[in-house]
Chains A and B, each alone.
Chain A
């Protein structure tokens, strides 16, 4: 059970990084997005020592690369860190984490571990954190995240945002089934709003909960984003009594997300909570921490046929979160 404590969340800039100056392991996801290696750049600037860089190399991403993006994709090689490349599928985090390659790394509770979630899909970093907590028994770690300056809207129109292609398959994220207990227990779905309204509406329809709560990231990275997420989730918002069931949590603070979920659960102790972390990654991180501390919570996610290649634009602020897993 996580104790009541003061959270630590630091904006990484020229003068500050985080308390730790060295890590045994830093996990990142390879990608051609500028944000994929922004943390590595900042680690170099601050002369942070990384004993082992673990690079998750998704074969779907690698195969989908355009020629000019290959150099950007392989930029992690240029930082001079000792790295291990983990070949895996973006659609199957559980298999990857069960693999020999991961167990061979020997991550344990005595190590200082960090994870940059900027370019991981949410199911992936959820599974990684589950693994780190329960298998590797990590008690505390650092999580990094770099915000984008903006997102890619087709023809600049805010309602034309798509993060996925093709069909969607709504599933539980491996390791987070929750405790439904059946019967007449009320099923509540909490959706962290993103920009892709198709995902939220489809999930809500598929799950058909007794009640849906929409959580908008506010304040957002940019003022207009709180409006874009509402506009793009109209289909979902039509199905809920907006004035009671639309809530707000700061987009860049996982700890506030955790607090919100804990308070919510206290108000509905007998209900079966389901969370769909479709919104900003720091909010998703907060949901993950909550689900790790409360196993009765189920985490759901729409797994797509394919992810879009480019959905965000450049880098804005980077953050370091000191995360207690126990």
Chain B
């Protein structure tokens, strides 16, 4: 077939246009300065009530701790405020407006300047072992840390100097004082000489780390820097020599990323810097949730105290306005789509994915346009029921979800004629108590659950698709949303290329595939977690399966259950460690507000399983109020094993419920305990 051959030939020609996925490369560490600026979407419209505006990041004297899961945007956030990125933004402004202020004046106006510091876990791990005492390693680490901070300041000063932002007067004052501070044998006359000296000192630490495994030598230098000496000394020196930075209100901000990589001992040292920070110097620290391993400082009686010594912001938690969050996601997606020529005419992700699911359409597809009626077999649980007769009364082949609603009401004891009336009143928009109740149950409480249940009746899976669903699945982590889009585009390019490129659409089945593959990948990434991988893996799967059982419950006793609370567990116990690790790795997320774990129950800390895993377990992608599982330490320990059975747990919950409400439980009337007044659609 000539046409097909030509098609293949064109595809295989190495000249053919290579597909560029607009959602690839979203690791902020890897982004160039230009990409950070181009892809930056200010989150302050969402963050404002808590953090304030951009300038506050520089001006605020109190240290700030930013916590969030992998992909939540911490690195992007911190890098944005770094000297290099701010400088390039200023340069762009100056290019567009030649009368714009100089770089140094713009920094002065900002009220601060950020220096981005990150140390990866492999290097931090080496300050131990080799038969060298821990105390000695701590000294070496502190010395090394001080040198790293020094290097950041030096790079910044050198850059300002090379751009003509600093005059000769500065050079004459700063360099000699700096070289005296560093204890250089021969006083430097240029910044280059100082740089060479610092590099030599840094190399000496690295070389020692390289030799330590094979020899017993001691670390020996002319000058070993103590804690705070350079971290505070250098900014004070800069302030005294650069007029633009002299003001007390001008802040040098150390942007420390990946704080979770620092061991407890190392964090003590940096906590000390944070606690006892000086005028004109502050800290913005990014870390995973539960990445703060200790609040202790090097002074055994002093500890970091939240709100007094620092303020913390949880990225996943700050975004509590779903609409604003979606707006942000849409903006981020638009920037990315516009940057790829192939998609510049299709830059609205909402349009590409579809705004929301169409559950009615999905239900019709499942039942082959109403021709299949397998789901009516659920009625068999009602004793002595005429299934066919009842079906005739309550059916609605144009809307299988309404049929499911009706089935649920019948199972719960309502008369079939009343059910039919309620449905008809709802459809004809007749207002009365019955139709209001019907509408409330259907729209607010059960619609999505009914869809899951319907799918399970046909041994099919509910699909995960649409912008709305993806925004929920991402669980407040922007990186997850981007990855969901990336996968969807990749699959669509293979399966349905024309529909993607020409029509600018991705159909729901392909999006569903992307969501499921991502859920699987995320689950697979749990096992390699150091020390806890296996247990966390079992815990996650058991939790997911437990929630799945709730979704399969034909009584829908606890619709869309995906939350749990924890009875107090001893600190430093293994179950406590599991929970902390699960939070650190964003496997579970803690809700910001205490909540009743059940109606009339006491207020506990409530956790949800990250919704990115939902497609793996075929459970809801949202989080609602309602009955929550309450886990003890023993439960958690049990769930860390592959042998744990979620069915046993569910049976216990039902038995407990039945003991409490024997009458209504018989037909599932305990649904009444899911009150309509509970806020059902908040983000978490």
B interface footprint on A217-253 (CB within 8 Å = 1, 0 otherwise):
0000000000000000001001111010000000000
Q: Check if B659 is an interface residue, CB within 8 A of chain A.
A: no
Query: Do A177 and B214 have beta carbons less than 8 Å apart?
Result: no
- The answer, among B155, B214, B530, for a CB contact under 8 Å with A98, is B214
Query: Do A208 and B122 have beta carbons less than 8 Å apart?
Result: no
Q: A168-B528, A238-B486 are known contacts. Are A174 and B213 too (CB-CB below 8 A)?
A: yes
Could you tell me the distance in whole angstroms from the C-beta of A54 to the nearest C-beta in chain B? Answer: 17
Query: Do A198 and B151 have beta carbons less than 8 Å apart?
Result: no
> Looking across the interface, which residue of chain B has its beta carbon closest to that of A131?
B214
Q: Check if A207 is an interface residue, CB within 8 A of chain B.
A: yes
8 A Cβ contacts from A111-163 to B: 127, 130-131, 134-135
> Looking across the interface, which residue of chain B has its beta carbon closest to that of A243?
B18
Cα(A209)–Cα(B209), bound, Å:
21
Could you tell me the distance in whole angstroms from the C-beta of B86 to the nearest C-beta in chain A? Answer: 13
Q: Point out residues on A near B: beta carbons under 8 Å.
A: 94, 97-98, 127, 130-131, 134-135, 166-172, 174-184, 198, 202, 205-212, 235, 238-241, 243, 295, 298, 300, 305
Could you tell me the distance in whole angstroms from the C-beta of B158 to the nearest C-beta in chain A? Answer: 9
Query: Do A169 and B530 have beta carbons less than 8 Å apart?
Result: yes
Binds A, one of B25-33, B448-456, B542-550, B557-565: B25-33
Q: Which residues of B contact A134 (CB under 8 A)?
A: 214
Query: Do A172 and B151 have beta carbons less than 8 Å apart?
Result: no
Query: Do A184 and B152 have beta carbons less than 8 Å apart?
Result: yes
Q: Check if B529 is an interface residue, CB within 8 A of chain A.
A: yes
Cα(A300)–Cα(B525), bound, Å:
20
Cα(A135)–Cα(B213), bound, Å:
12
Query: Do B30 and A168 have beta carbons less than 8 Å apart?
Result: no
Q: A172-B126, A208-B27, A241-B25 are known contacts. Are A180 and B213 too (CB-CB below 8 A)?
A: no
A interface footprint on B191-214 (CB within 8 Å = 1, 0 otherwise):
000000001001100110111011
Cα(A180)–Cα(B214), bound, Å:
20
Q: Check if B553 is an interface residue, CB within 8 A of chain A.
A: no
Could you tell me the distance in whole angstroms from the C-beta of B212 to the nearest C-beta in chain A? Answer: 8
A interface footprint on B507-524 (CB within 8 Å = 1, 0 otherwise):
000000000000001001
Q: Which residues of B contact A179 (CB under 8 A)?
A: 202-203, 206-207
Q: A167-B528, A177-B123 are known contacts. Are A239 and B206 too (CB-CB below 8 A)?
A: no
Query: Do A183 and B30 have beta carbons less than 8 Å apart?
Result: no
Cα(A238)–Cα(B482), bound, Å:
13
Q: Check if B439 is an interface residue, CB within 8 A of chain A.
A: no
Q: Point out residues on B near A: beta carbons under 8 Å.
A: 18, 24-25, 27, 29-30, 70, 75, 84, 118, 120-123, 125-126, 130-131, 147-148, 151-152, 154-155, 199, 202-203, 206-207, 209-211, 213-214, 258, 486, 521, 524-525, 527-534
Cα(A305)–Cα(B148), bound, Å:
32
Q: What are the nearest 5 A-B pairs in CB distance?
A: A94-B213, A174-B213, A183-B151, A208-B29, A167-B533
Q: Which residues of B contact A243 (CB under 8 A)?
A: 18
Query: Do B152 and A177 have beta carbons less than 8 Å apart?
Result: no
Cα(A243)–Cα(B25), bound, Å:
14
Could you tell me the distance in whole angstroms from the C-beta of B25 to the nearest C-beta in chain A? Answer: 6
13 A-B residue contacts at CB 8 Å? Answer: A97-B214, A98-B131, A127-B213, A130-B214, A167-B527, A167-B528, A169-B530, A172-B126, A172-B209, A175-B211, A179-B206, A202-B525, A238-B486
Q: Which residues of A contact B152 (CB under 8 A)?
A: 182-184
Could you tell me the distance in whole angstroms from the C-beta of A127 to the nearest C-beta in chain B? Answer: 7
Query: Do A206 and B202 have beta carbons less than 8 Å apart?
Result: no
Q: A170-B121, A172-B122, A174-B213 are known contacts. Are A182 and B30 too (CB-CB below 8 A)?
A: no
Query: Do B118 and A208 have beta carbons less than 8 Å apart?
Result: yes
Q: Which residues of B contact A235 (CB under 8 A)?
A: 521
Could you tell me the distance in whole angstroms from the C-beta of B281 to the nearest C-beta in chain A? Answer: 18
Could you tell me the distance in whole angstroms from the C-beta of B202 to the nearest C-beta in chain A? Answer: 5
Query: Do A180 and B123 have beta carbons less than 8 Å apart?
Result: yes
Q: Which residues of A contact B155 (CB under 8 A)?
A: 183-184
Cα(A305)–Cα(B537), bound, Å:
15
Q: Which residues of B contact A239 (CB under 8 A)?
A: 24-25, 27, 30
Cα(A235)–Cα(B525), bound, Å:
11
Q: Which residues of A contact B528 (CB under 8 A)?
A: 166-168, 198, 202
By secondary structure, the B interface counts as: helix
Query: Do B120 and A182 have beta carbons less than 8 Å apart?
Result: no
Query: Do B202 and A166 have beta carbons less than 8 Å apart?
Result: no
Could you tell me the distance in whole angstroms from the C-beta of B151 to the nearest C-beta in chain A? Answer: 4
> Looking across the interface, which residue of chain B has its beta carbon closest to that of A302?
B528
Q: Which residues of A contact B525 (CB under 8 A)?
A: 202
Q: A166-B534, A167-B527, A167-B531 are known contacts. Are A182 and B148 too (CB-CB below 8 A)?
A: yes
Q: A130-B214, A210-B30, A235-B521 are known contacts. Are A181 and B122 too (CB-CB below 8 A)?
A: no
- The answer, among A176, A180, A202, A208, for a CB contact under 8 Å with B30, is A208
Query: Do A182 and B121 have beta carbons less than 8 Å apart?
Result: no
Query: Do B207 and A295 have beta carbons less than 8 Å apart?
Result: yes
Query: Do B202 and A180 have beta carbons less than 8 Å apart?
Result: yes
Cα(A305)–Cα(B118), bound, Å:
27
Query: Do B530 and A167 have beta carbons less than 8 Å apart?
Result: yes
Query: Do B206 and A177 have beta carbons less than 8 Å apart?
Result: yes
- The answer, among B120, B125, B154, B209, for a CB contact under 8 Å with A207, is B120
Could you tell me the distance in whole angstroms from the C-beta of A101 to the nearest C-beta in chain B? Answer: 15
Extra contacts, 15 of them, besides A175-B213, A208-B27 (Cβ < 8 A), are: A94-B214, A97-B214, A98-B131, A167-B527, A167-B534, A179-B202, A179-B203, A180-B202, A181-B151, A181-B202, A183-B148, A208-B120, A235-B521, A239-B24, A243-B18
Query: Do B30 and A209 have beta carbons less than 8 Å apart?
Result: yes
Could you tell me the distance in whole angstroms from the C-beta of A164 to the nearest C-beta in chain B? Answer: 8
Q: Which residues of B contact A127 (CB under 8 A)?
A: 213
Query: Do A180 and B206 have beta carbons less than 8 Å apart?
Result: yes
Query: Do A175 and B210 have beta carbons less than 8 Å apart?
Result: yes
Q: Which residues of A contact B131 (CB under 8 A)?
A: 98
> Looking across the interface, which residue of chain A has its beta carbon closest to that of B203?
A179
Q: Which residues of A contact B209 (CB under 8 A)?
A: 172, 177
> Looking across the interface, which residue of chain A has its beta carbon closest to that of B31?
A210
Q: Which residues of B contact A206 (CB under 8 A)?
A: 120-122
Query: Do B154 and A183 have beta carbons less than 8 Å apart?
Result: yes
> Looking across the interface, which residue of chain B has its beta carbon closest to that of A235?
B521
Could you tell me the distance in whole angstroms from the C-beta of B336 to the nearest C-beta in chain A? Answer: 15
Q: Which residues of B contact A181 (CB under 8 A)?
A: 151, 199, 202-203
- The answer, among A135, A171, A240, for a CB contact under 8 Å with B125, is A171
Cα(A307)–Cα(B649), bound, Å:
36
Q: Which residues of A contact B529 (CB under 8 A)?
A: 167
Cα(A168)–Cα(B121), bound, Å:
13
Cα(A176)–Cα(B528), bound, Å:
24
Q: Which residues of A contact B486 (CB under 8 A)?
A: 238
Query: Do A167 and B532 have beta carbons less than 8 Å apart?
Result: yes
Query: Do A182 and B214 have beta carbons less than 8 Å apart?
Result: no
Query: Do B29 and A295 have beta carbons less than 8 Å apart?
Result: no
- The answer, among A97, A167, A182, A210, for a CB contact under 8 Å with B29, is A210
- The answer, among A98, A166, A177, A182, for a CB contact under 8 Å with B147, is A182
Could you tell me the distance in whole angstroms from the C-beta of B564 to the nearest C-beta in chain A? Answer: 25
Could you tell me the distance in whole angstroms from the C-beta of B397 to the nearest C-beta in chain A? Answer: 44
> Looking across the interface, which residue of chain A has its beta carbon closest to that of B23?
A238
Q: A170-B121, A183-B154, A208-B30 are known contacts. Are A295 and B210 too (CB-CB below 8 A)?
A: yes
Cα(A300)–Cα(B121), bound, Å:
11
Cα(A239)–Cα(B483), bound, Å:
11
- The answer, among B75, B214, B531, for a CB contact under 8 Å with A175, is B214
Q: A184-B155, A206-B121, A208-B118 are known contacts. Are A166 and B527 too (CB-CB below 8 A)?
A: yes
- The answer, among A94, A178, A241, for a CB contact under 8 Å with B206, is A178
Could you tell me the distance in whole angstroms from the C-beta of A221 to the nearest C-beta in chain B? Answer: 26
Q: Which residues of B contact A172 (CB under 8 A)?
A: 122-123, 125-126, 209
Cα(A181)–Cα(B125), bound, Å:
17
> Looking across the interface, which residue of chain A has its beta carbon closest to that of B21?
A238
Could you tell me the distance in whole angstroms from the C-beta of B374 to the nearest C-beta in chain A? Answer: 34
Cα(A240)–Cα(B123), bound, Å:
23
